Amino acid sequence: LLLLLLAPWGPRVSGELRRWPVPYRRFDYRPKTDPYCQARYTFCPTGSAIPLMKEEDVIEVYRLQAPVWEFKYGDLLGHLKIMHDAVGFKSSLTGKNYTMEWYELFQLGNCTFPHLRPGMDAPFWCNQGAACFYEGIDNAHWKANGTLVLVTTISGTMFNEMAQWVKHDNDTGIYYETWTVQASPDKKSTVWFDSYECSKFILRTYQKLADLGAVFKKIQTNYTSIILFSGEPVYLGNETSIFGPQGNKTLAAAIRDFYNPFKPHRSVREFFVDLFKIIDRVILNRQFYLFYNLEYWFLPMKSPYLKIIYEEVPLPVGNKASFGV
């Protein structure tokens, strides 16, 4: 019944089937962040510009992976296979090391769920993600509970071309998307939405290097995905069409009510009360509202509802005649 009520707000697609997964939207520029959005930990505190390498340089490329928040909780989240990915570089000419990663400007919670601010009808999102490049590789951080392994070598020319690509990728892909949404745990099941987070940036970087001619070592590489399981999503509209003056007040109230239990908690009692509400709505009533590409979608949830997987994604195959190991 709920799907029938929501269907009138779906997109009108004539003469063609809707594309799945929904393509991640890219933008012409990065908007300024609102002062309301504050991060507990500063984004990219020692970041620097990507240097111009000499063409004849030989640069080692390292796969870096460690449990999320390893600096605070050690390998705790590693036991759940919740991992953060980065890539490291070492110049043979200068001996300098560098780290490059992509993560949230305002931490994961703010990118995943909005704030419900007094006097504002629409949920308020503190969501941006960006690349960070800085000198040095913290060997202890990556080796202690994670991975630091050589995956290929590239020339200085290839590094400089990659740097240009990174700038474009960073300027146009600005929003962090936590969830992968698919129809079932079957590997061949339909993917409705794909995530856009740290591991996807690393995978794009590796693919760019392979396109430039890098040849990767044959080693196993696994990445974390947080998956929601849903029937075919129903398009609801954007902020204006739902929460604007001519919007749908009933739908707007339902979305705000859904997000309310995900707010930051000040007491243990509040946490458990809201956790019960989340279980009731997502599992018992099989409802989830997804915000993706600045648009809202209704997900008719289905078992097993949510799963964290640590799945192998092979390194890309490069051109054997090209520069590399």
Mean pLDDT of the chain: 91
What pLDDT was estimated at residue 319?
Answer: 58
Q: Which of 55-64, 72-81, 261-270 has the highest mean pLDDT?
A: 55-64
HEC-encoded secondary structure of the chain:
CHHHHHHHHCCCCCCCCCCCCCCCCCCCCCCCCCCCCCCCCCCCCCCCCCCCCCCCCEEEEEEEEEECCHHHHCCCHHHHCCEEEEEEEEECCCCCEEEEEEEECCHHHHHHCCECCCCCCCCECCCCEEEEEEECCCHHHHHHHCEEEEEEEEEHHHHHHHHHHHHHHHHHCCCCECCEEECCCCCCCCEEECCECHHHHHHHHHHHHHHHCCCCCCCCCEEEEEEEEECCCEEEEEHHHHHCCCCCHHHHHHHHHHHHHHCCCCCHHHHHHHHHHHHHHHHHCCEEEEEECCEEEEEEEEEEEEEEEEEECCCCCCCCCCCCC
pLDDT in tens, 10-39: 343 333 457 899 999 999 989 898 999 998
For range 303-321, the mean pLDDT = 87
Ranking 23-37, 222-236, 261-275, 296-310 by mean pLDDT, the lowest is 261-275
What pLDDT was estimated at residue 318?
Answer: 67
Q: Cα–Cα–Cα angle for 313, 62, 104, nearest 5°? A: 70
* Residue 198 annotated as catalytic: yes
Name the residue among 47, 123, 57 with its Cα closest to residue 95: 57
Identified catalytic residue from 111, 126, 132, 198 = 198
For range 198-212, the mean pLDDT = 97
Q: pTM, whole model, 2 decimals?
A: 0.89
d(CA 127, CA 23): 18
Q: Residue 163 above 50 pLDDT?
A: yes
Identified catalytic residue from 84, 111, 126, 132 = 84
Q: Residue 312 above 90 pLDDT?
A: yes
What pLDDT was estimated at residue 40?
Answer: 87
* Residue 44 annotated as catalytic: no
Q: Residue 325 above 70 pLDDT?
A: no
Q: Residue 255 above 70 pLDDT?
A: yes
What pLDDT was estimated at residue 234?
Answer: 98
Residue 291 identity (one-letter amino acid): F
Spatial neighbors of 116 by CB under 8 A, at least 6 apart, are: 123, 124, 256, 259, 260, 263
Residue 86 near residue 65, CB atoms below 8 Å: yes
pLDDT in tens, 104-140: 999 999 999 999 999 999 999 999 999 999 999 999 8
